[in-house]
């Protein structure tokens, strides 16, 4: 095998790493040789996860919707580990409510966390990468719902559709600086957050529509995460990679 999936010498920052996918992503980057920072608002949970990963990991308090919090977190990571060369924009929130019952502040908080947060993080990390002239990788965690409509998740789906286009536009601008920007669009992946829902009656209905007849596991995303962050995926940029067991194909 000549493809190089090693992340040795790289510094990763995973947002929303206090639970679920983000916590697992940080472990995968560290296993591949990167030093990694786990960021989220619940710094205690990030610290717990960083301790589990070991000496290659640190935790930082981070609110992706707040520019001053982002600056403080990046300063800290740079001081302790070096310039962030791999950014995983994973922090995200979801709300479920009919369109006509959704309050404006709920819409705004989803857009501010998912979309504005990813934009602020990408901008802040890209500025530092351009100054350092190292090149780097940004991976946005989108969702199958960014392309496939379903009811009662309006703000979330709109934020993820916008993240897909943010991925393409940032990729176009940042390629000249050696920075690639891609996205992973997962379908239903079992995490602590949705295990109850996916195990219930609605989950049973949805799983019958997945051509592979099961929900995803966090480990189903490891391969593509490493492809998009390592030298093996060096000629890929602006791509949205859907990982959903074929669910988006099942429109009828
Ligand atoms: N699980 C799935 O089936 C699935 C499918 C498609 C896409 N996704 C996407 O995958 C990502 C992770 O989802 P998950 O399932 O792992 O859910 P989760 O366990 O709820 O994780 C969400 C993470 O985002 C963090 N977060 C929320 N607001 C934040 C903010 N303002 N600043 C920093 N961090 C913030 C949370 O940490 P704090 O509360 O500590 O800040 C938490 O660690 C999300 O973007 C989600 O849309 C998940």
User: Could you read off the pLDDT of 233-246 as tens digits, one per residue?
Assistant: 999 999 999 999 99
| pLDDT one-digit tens code per residue, 65-101 | 999 999 999 999 999 999 999 999 999 999 999 999 9
Would you place residue 215 in the very low, low, confident or very high pLDDT band (cuts 50, 70, 90)?
very high
Whole-prediction pTM: 0.98
Pocket of ligand 1 (CB under 6 A): 15-16, 18-22, 40-42, 45, 62-65, 90-93, 113, 117, 141, 143, 186, 188-189, 191, 193-194
61 closest CA partner among 97, 37, 85, 87: 37
Mutation test residue for ligand 1: of 14, 21, 183, the one with most atoms within 8 Å of CB: 21
The dihedral sign for the CA sequence 251, 217, 22, 194: positive
Query: For position 207, what pLDDT does the model report?
Result: 94
Q: Centre a 10 Å sphere on the Cβ of residue 137 and count the other Cβ atoms it contains.
A: 26
- Give the model's pLDDT for residue 196: 87
Quick one: pLDDT at residue 252? 73
235 among known catalytic residues: no
User: For residue 111, how far is its CA from the centre of ligand 1 (angstroms)?
Assistant: 13
Q: What is the pLDDT of residue 193?
A: 73
Expressed in angstroms and rounded, the spacing between residue 13 Cα and the centre of ligand 1 is 14
- Contacts of residue 80, defined as CB under 8 A and 6 or more positions apart, other chains included, come to 37, 58
Q: Is the pLDDT of residue 184 over 80?
A: yes
Domains annotated on the chain, with CATH: 11-242 (3.40.50.720)
């Amino acid at each position: 095998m000549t493809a190089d999936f090693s992340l040795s010498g790289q510094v990763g920052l995973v947002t929303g790493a206090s639970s679920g996918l983000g916590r697992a992503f940080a472990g995968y980057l560290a296993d591949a040789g990167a030093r990694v920072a786990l960021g989220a608002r619940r710094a205690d949970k990030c610290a717990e996860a960083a301790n589990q990963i070991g000496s290659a990991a640190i935790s930082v308090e981070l609110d992706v919707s707040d520019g001053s919090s982002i600056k403080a977190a990046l300063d800290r990571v740079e001081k302790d580990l070096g310039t962030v060369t791999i950014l995983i924009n994973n922090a995200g929130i979801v709300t479920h409510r009919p369109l006509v019952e959704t309050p404006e502040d709920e819409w705004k908080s989803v857009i501010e966390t998912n979309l504005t947060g990813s934009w602020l993080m990408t901008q802040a990390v890209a500025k530092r990468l351009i100054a350092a002239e190292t090149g780097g990788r940004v991976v946005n965690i989108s969702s199958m719902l960014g392309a496939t409509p379903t009811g009662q998740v309006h703000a979330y789906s709109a934020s993820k559709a916008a993240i897909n286009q943010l991925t393409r536009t940032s990729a176009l601008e940042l390629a000249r600086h050696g920075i690639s920007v891609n996205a992973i669009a997962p379908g239903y992946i079992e995490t602590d957050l949705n295990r109850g829902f996916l195990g219930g009656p609605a989950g049973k209905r949805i799983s019958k529509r997945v051509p592979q007849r099961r929900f995803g596991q966090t480990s189903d995303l490891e391969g593509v995460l490493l492809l998009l962050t390592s030298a093996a995926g060096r000629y890929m940029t602006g791509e949205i990679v859907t990982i959903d067991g074929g669910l988006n194909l099942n429109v009828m």
